[in-house]
């Protein structure tokens, strides 16, 4: 009989980064997204140290250490430490009895790559601490705690997509997530002769966090104006394109275009799942291009490097679609490209990119993997 009284002493867990097929800046508008967990992840090793409140954790990639007093968890000036402190604090807010622990983490999710290295770290810690201390929090609670760590300790008012994908991913499946109800459905990603290819610009513009929060407020301002005429509207999720069109010229142009991106992007996510179901890769690809156009012009979260990489694919019949991925202002494009043309395409684009920006891009051909999980654990009676 298995002994249920074994207390975990140490655990090694992993939690991945994510891609997003389509549905950008829709999550914090109660909308739809279509992400998946990938084969790049954070691995965290955690063990109890027998102390009531003292903790120490090392960021392996940076060789930097953070000491934590569990009685006084507060944000620091900046850096990876706030992801850790934020998660601990948010779990404590849920009543979690975390005791002293030590550990380390390291990962291969590119930082600033738009693959959500931050959610990968937050979820690895939340998941790991939940297991180590038998906190019995649900995955939804862990996801929300990780998201709130980012709001309250990092200062980015992010949506729930990244943490959800990192925690809930399944091999070879994309997740259609309704960010309002948190209902979700897996769809197999079957691309036939095509593959996903990420091209990392290797730039990350400093605007990213301030503009992110600004976009969120712009959406809220847009909703406030729409509500005056349509009081039933809670979020942009509740707005249809015909409803929004009635506001053209009656709200500031910037707010109008921000809203138009979100409203049209929600529809594109639903259309994309349809295209996946019928195996229509060309249609899926067209939706990616439309998404990029909307993010570039209506939502204004792209940058010259991302636009250049998308433009490089236009007119190539072996590329079905391309767009910027994630929050924007740098990071990656996601491309759906015929497998046999991948290498040659990367070579050519890398050369053009270097000539234009003096920067090397990094290609990643990612696979879709499971979300957070235990790699190994050890207990004592």
Residues making contact with ligand GLA (CB under 6 A): 24-25, 27-28, 116, 158-159, 161-162, 326-327
At its nearest, how many Å lie between ligand GLA and the CB of residue 326? 5
At its nearest, how many Å lie between ligand GLA and the CB of residue 302? 12
- Given the complex with ligand GLA, which of 90 and 162 has the nearer CB atom? 162
Distance, CA of 346 to CA of 329 (rounded, Å): 21
The verdict on whether 162 is a catalytic residue reads yes
For residue 64, CA distances in Å to 55, 59, 60, 88, 348 come to 14, 5, 7, 18, 38
Distance, CA of 38 to CA of 18 (rounded, Å): 5
Taking alpha carbons only, the member of 304, 309, 16 closest to residue 170 is 16
At its nearest, how many Å lie between ligand GLA and the CB of residue 299? 10
Sign of CA dihedral 101, 104, 110, 112: positive
- Given the complex with ligand GLA, which of 262 and 346 has the nearer CB atom? 262
Taking alpha carbons only, the member of 133, 117, 200 closest to residue 165 is 117
Q: If you write DSSP's letter for every residue of 257-320 in order, what string do you get?
A: HHHHHHHHHHHHHHHHHHHHHHT-HHHHHHHHHHHHHIIIIIS----HHHHHHHHTTTT-TTEE
At its nearest, how many Å lie between ligand GLA and the CB of residue 270? 16
At its nearest, how many Å lie between ligand GLA and the CB of residue 176? 15
DSSP state of 4: T
CA 141, distance to chain mean position in Å, is 17
At its nearest, how many Å lie between ligand GLA and the CB of residue 24? 4
CA 355, distance to chain mean position in Å, is 30
Residue of 162, 271, 307, 343 with catalytic role: 162
Sign of CA dihedral 16, 19, 22, 28: positive
3-state helix/strand/coil string of 189-256: CCCCCEEEEEEEEEEECCHHHHHHHHHHHHHHHHHHHHHHHCCCCCCHHHCCHHHHHCCCCCCCHHHH
- Given the complex with ligand GLA, which of 10 and 29 has the nearer CB atom? 29
- Given the complex with ligand GLA, which of 25 and 323 has the nearer CB atom? 25
- Given the complex with ligand GLA, which of 17 and 103 has the nearer CB atom? 17
At its nearest, how many Å lie between ligand GLA and the CB of residue 19? 11
Catalytic residue IDs: 162
């Amino acid at each position: 009989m298995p002994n249920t009284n074994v207390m975990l002493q140490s655990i090694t867990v992993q939690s991945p980064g994510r891609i997003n097929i389509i549905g950008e800046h829709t999550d914090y508008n109660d909308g739809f997204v279509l992400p998946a967990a990938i084969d790049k992840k954070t691995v965290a090793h955690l063990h109890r140290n027998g102390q009531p409140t003292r903790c120490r954790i090392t960021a392996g990639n940076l060789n930097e250490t953070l000491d934590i007093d569990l009685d006084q968890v507060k944000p620091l000036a900046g850096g990876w430490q706030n992801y850790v402190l934020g998660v601990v604090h948010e779990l404590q807010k849920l009543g979690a009895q975390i005791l002293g622990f030590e550990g380390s983490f390291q990962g291969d999710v590119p930082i600033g790559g738009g693959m959500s290295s931050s959610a990968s770290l937050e979820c690895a810690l939340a998941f790991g601490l939940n297991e180590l201390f038998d906190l019995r929090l649900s995955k939804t609670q862990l996801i929300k705690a990780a998201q709130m760590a980012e709001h309250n300790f990092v200062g980015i008012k992010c949506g729930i997509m990244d943490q959800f994908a990192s925690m809930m991913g399944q091999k070879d499946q994309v997740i259609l997530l309704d960010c309002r109800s948190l209902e979700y459905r897996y769809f197999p990603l079957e691309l036939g002769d095509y593959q996903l290819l990420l091209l990392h610009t290797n730039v990350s513009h400093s605007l990213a966090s301030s503009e992110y929060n600004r976009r969120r407020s712009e959406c809220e301002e847009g909703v406030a104006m729409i509500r005056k005429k349509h009081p039933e509207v809670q979020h942009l999720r509740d707005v249809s394109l015909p409803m929004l069109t009635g506001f053209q010229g009656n709200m500031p142009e910037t707010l109008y275009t921000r809203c138009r991106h979100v409203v049209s992007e929600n529809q594109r996510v639903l259309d994309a799942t349809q295209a996946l179901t019928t195996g229509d890769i060309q249609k899926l690809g067209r939706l990616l291009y439309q998404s990029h156009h909307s993010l570039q012009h209506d939502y204004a979260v792209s940058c010259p490097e991302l636009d250049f990489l998308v433009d490089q694919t236009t007119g190539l019949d072996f590329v079905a679609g391309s767009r910027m991925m994630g929050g924007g202002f740098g990071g990656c494009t996601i491309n759906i490209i015929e497998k046999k043309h991948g290498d040659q395409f990367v070579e050519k684009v890398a050369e053009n990119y270097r000539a234009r920006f003096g920067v090397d891009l990094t290609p990643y051909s990612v696979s879709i993997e499971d979300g957070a999980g235990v790699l190994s654990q050890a207990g004592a009676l």
